[in-house]
Amino acid sequence: MVTTTFVNKTKIDFKLKEGNAGVYRDLAVLQGVDEHGEPRRPDGQHTVTLDVHATYREYTVVATGQKTKKSRVLVSSDMCQDNSVINIICNDTTGKYETECEPRTKAVDGTQAPNGGQTGGRLSGFVNFLKKLGK
């Protein structure tokens, strides 16, 4: 079992949902931050526990009150396994919401993670693939 914390670093609220095959259940509402970057309330983050041997799950983070493609972020269970913290941020250039991840220093099996825990850029290859399909 591994834990991953989702943190909302935007100014709006997001709903965190967990699911598979298009069926999702609500997990939490991630409160946004104020103009100084400070949480408006202490529930701007939520920690999920993931069984690495369980059926594939994905997480979706949806901006409350907004219904555009830019207001939704998909996160795979692989991304949760690779990262201990997943921050939800707003890309100032595109206006889209994205993830910014903090990789684990140890792999799920307890060995050293590849590249010393550095798993790469902002988005995993699988999530980039999903985003291209959604265009």
- Beta-carbon contacts of 11 under 8 Å, excluding residues fewer than 6 positions away, are 32, 33, 34, 35, 90
pLDDT band at 102 (very low <50, low <70, confident <90, very high): very high
Flag whether the pTM goes above 0.85.
Answer: no
Domains of the chain (ranges; CATH) run 2-133 (2.60.40)
CA pair distance 48, 93, nearest whole angstrom = 30
pLDDT of residue 103: 92
Average per-residue pLDDT for the chain: 77
Please measure the distance between the N-terminal and C-terminal CA atoms of the chain and give it in whole angstroms: 34
pLDDT of residue 13: 87
Comparing 79 with 95, the larger pLDDT belongs to: 79
pLDDT digits (tens, 9 = 90+) for 40-92: 666 678 888 888 777 778 888 888 776 666 678 888 888 888 999 999 988 88
Long-range contacts made by residues 118-123, C-beta under 8 angstroms, separation at least 24? Answer: 119/82, 119/83, 122/98, 123/98, 123/99
Kindly report the backbone phi and psi dihedral angles of residue 79, in degrees, each rounded to the nearest multiple of 5, phi listed first. -65, -35
pLDDT band at 24 (very low <50, low <70, confident <90, very high): confident
